[in-house]
A and B are shown apart, each in its own frame.
Chain A
């Protein structure tokens, strides 16, 4: 069998970021090929290029033996490539059949829709790929897994032979994942080629014929599942050539700064995404939360910061019940927060840097004088942040948009650290910043820790978690599944806990 898709030297740059750096990828016909990597590793960009939503700056794409250049998704569809997006694009009030044909309706005279023909085609497609669905059911009555099946059929209906699935399991419960995998194997048997994006290692190992690992926009390895373990994959994903933070003596005190008691957070479908989590963080302690992304860490952070409602349990800050406090009250109590997604939650891209530095601290000096916003104070503080955290910018009047990604991150970390917080919630504080800046953030964290700051550090970088934390907890499917001592744990062990590969008997 020949190669269905061959990508060579694909590069894509965005202002300040190289999303794909000479990526190469070969997908054989009729295989299930998994692309794995951390968030930000360039998986989605690569898939968007393959589906014609983005154009590569450089590189060659060969589909079915012919070199191609897609200008839009319709070019990709013409060549039999279809994409199932992570977020469904279905009309709830329409039936399955109506949704499937939407945008590609067979018509009779006078533009009337030929439902008979549509139904026949749908039946044919469903049968040949072994996917069953009730064509006249309203989509709003379907479960999440069934909706996903509608999306897949939609793509097949349009004649796709190559399917791209963007993190298809992110929205599914375990049984639904099994159903999906069964369907995918069916599809493969019927001759479809499947590209599968995911970062849940167990799933990848279960379904894929070939695995390509991306890291920081580059292809780091292409492996067969039988040759690797989940821990190997984790190591490939996060890499180990990064500098390792070195341990220094403990500064942990016996005063509790953050206490989380049985916290449960439910998602929109009332499923627990954080499930009965409890821990304590003391002044002078860094608690590392490890876990493969999407296992509840983000929601836990939201619950700590106050942007998400806690369904059960309590959050105590410095001994006070803060479960129902809003974000501002928590911040005024000395909490600082570095969000995971700096552009969405951390920055005002169109505003000058000094307005960005005030964000989150605008109710306290030096940003406020009575009812007035203190521009002078804000500018002075911004100059401090710029100097102390080495934010590379011509001046502080430029908009945050014009900074590179790494400098944006330094600005956010700097603004939070400059407020001298007592409690620090940091989600991936060193992601996307260069090695030097990373070392600096670590040093700052360590100094603040020595001064009594309590830190909750969420990171996907295992070296960072091990090197920085006084205590490590591992989250898997919303639960804390392990508490580990950073002095004795290896990245390999940690990786296997994160993926659930670590069986209890091995732990002992």
Chain B
């Protein structure tokens, strides 16, 4: 396939999906008596302000990491629904440990990150172990482990570890400043003179970029990554090729959970420095959407995370300008997700047929020559 053709093929699905989602949302907006063009204009205009860009990046960072966590499972045909429980449990323990240790700055942050990754990996690895040892489907196991983590362990321990009995909603003790991550606002000043309006760009963004690169390189360039991909392509062939499926399942779940551990770090290291009742939830499930939209590819997921973050930060502006109801954002996200899954399937089927046809044609040509 020529390069041009490949690019067209690669872009066809996302463009189709977004186009369809915009069309459908526009219809909804028209029916509900709003002007779709005004709404989209407001959203885009709003997103060009620096403070909103910072919001978008801070929101996109955990979404992207969560997407990677889900994608590691997907690449092996494991459906890790448990990122939600894994990252919240990880964030809680990271916050508790972080608040009770005192270390020089870099070490302190490193310890918090390590705790988060280990807890996430352990919780996810448990689901992997259950699958291998007891034959429990990972979807069921992770859903149940979510419930245990969120409604069980966290509901109980947050009370145990809250900062004083008189402050019911304050959450765990605040982490000392040595365990805070500096913001990246000074880096922004290199690009623009605009002020950030009190927003701080979280340095966890750098973690996310590194995580994306590691994910990509590990999967595509290392031998262990090859083993993992092969297991996802065809478990039977992988087995005959010497890949131990049981070990691969546990490994993939552990990697996925360690990645999930990083999802909560924006809040722990940069924003609140504690785990409390208002801790941001839902990122684990959103990550599944990001992975689906991004086709489990690092670059694709980065775009998907930014797209979702853009829509999330746009919803308040719609409320303010009254150009549309804010729920339209949810409709947009939902339709993009659904449409992209359908569009990817359609394009990949077309591509496969096209490839077989081109291969046959090329051979026929050679046969004549």
Contact = CB atoms under 8 A, between A and B. Distances in A.
B234 interface: yes
Interface stretch (B201-209, B258-266, B355-363): B355-363
Nearest to B362: A394
Contact of B221 (A331, A355, A373, A392): A373
A394 B230 contact: no
A381 to B, nearest CB: 14
A359 interface: yes
A348 B227 contact: no
A328 B242 contact: yes
Interface in B223-255: 223-227, 229-230, 233-234, 236-244
Contacts of B230: 348, 351, 355, 359, 362
B222 interface: yes
Interface in B182-219: none
B355 A344 contact: no
Contacts of A337: 240
A21 B177 CA distance: 77
A328 B244 contact: yes
Given A351-B233, A402-B352, A359 B223 contact: no
Contacts of A358: 226
A307 B223 contact: no
B359 A372 contact: no
A328 B237 contact: no
A251 interface: no
Given A393-B359, A402-B355, 8 more contacts: A331-B241, A331-B242, A345-B239, A349-B233, A362-B227, A372-B223, A373-B226, A403-B359
27 contacts: A15-B356, A307-B240, A326-B244, A327-B242, A337-B240, A344-B237, A345-B236, A347-B234, A351-B229, A351-B230, A351-B233, A355-B230, A359-B230, A359-B237, A359-B238, A360-B242, A362-B223, A362-B226, A362-B227, A362-B242, A368-B223, A372-B222, A398-B355, A401-B356, A402-B352, A402-B355, A402-B356
Contacts of B358: 394
Contacts of B243: 327-328
Contact of B241 (A360, A399, A403): A360
A305 interface: yes
A332 B353 CA distance: 37
A363 interface: yes
A363 B352 contact: no
A379 to B, nearest CB: 14
Interface string A351-372: 1000100111011000110011
A360 B240 contact: yes
Nearest to B352: A401
A351 B242 CA distance: 18
Contacts of B356: 15, 401-402
Of A326, A358, A373, A399, most B-chain CB atoms within 10 Å: A373
Contacts of B221: 372-373, 375
Interface of B: 220-227, 229-230, 233-234, 236-244, 352, 355-356, 358-359, 362-363
A328 B239 CA distance: 9
A371 B237 contact: no
A495 interface: no
Contacts of B227: 362
B237 A373 contact: no
Given A362-B226, A371-B223, A399 B237 contact: no
Nearest to A307: B239
Contact of A394 (B225, B240, B359): B359
B92 to A, nearest CB: 34
A68 interface: no
Contacts of A332: 242
A398 B359 contact: yes
A346 interface: yes
**Shortest beta-carbon contacts, A-B, top 9:** A328-B242, A394-B362, A360-B241, A348-B233, A359-B241, A402-B356, A327-B242, A345-B240, A402-B359
Interface string A229-254: 00000000000000000000000000
A326 B363 CA distance: 40
A100 B5 CA distance: 53
Nearest to B224: A371
A372 B242 CA distance: 17
A421 to B, nearest CB: 13
B352 A399 contact: yes
Nearest to B354: A402
A490 to B, nearest CB: 34
Contacts of A307: 239-240
A346 B237 CA distance: 5
Interface string A194-238: 000000000000000000000000000000000000000000000
Interface string A72-90: 0000000000000000000
Interface in A377-406: 392-394, 398-399, 401-403
A394 B363 contact: yes
B359 A305 contact: no
A350 interface: yes
A371 B240 contact: no
A284 interface: no
A478 interface: no
A296 interface: no
A417 to B, nearest CB: 16
Contact of B222 (A347, A349, A373): A373
A355 B244 contact: no
B349 to A, nearest CB: 11
Contacts of A327: 239-244
Given A372-B221, A402-B355, A363 B234 contact: no
Given A351-B233, A372-B222, A403-B359, A339 B240 contact: yes
Contact of A348 (B223, B237, B244, B362): B237
A348 B223 CA distance: 16
Contacts of A344: 234, 236-237
A346 B244 CA distance: 15
A403 to B, nearest CB: 7
Contacts of A15: 356
Nearest to B357: A402
A398 B237 CA distance: 18
A375 B225 CA distance: 13
Contacts of B239: 307, 327, 345
B233 A363 contact: no
A326 B242 contact: yes
Contacts of B362: 394
A401 B222 CA distance: 24
Nearest to B226: A373
Nearest to A360: B241
A373 B223 contact: yes
B317 to A, nearest CB: 42
A394 B225 CA distance: 27
B240 A346 contact: yes
A362 B241 contact: yes
Contacts of B355: 398-399, 401-402
Contacts of B224: 371
Contacts of A368: 223
Contacts of A351: 229-230, 233
A305 B226 contact: no
B226 A355 contact: yes
Contacts of A394: 358-359, 362-363
A399 B359 CA distance: 10
Nearest to A338: B240
Nearest to A327: B242
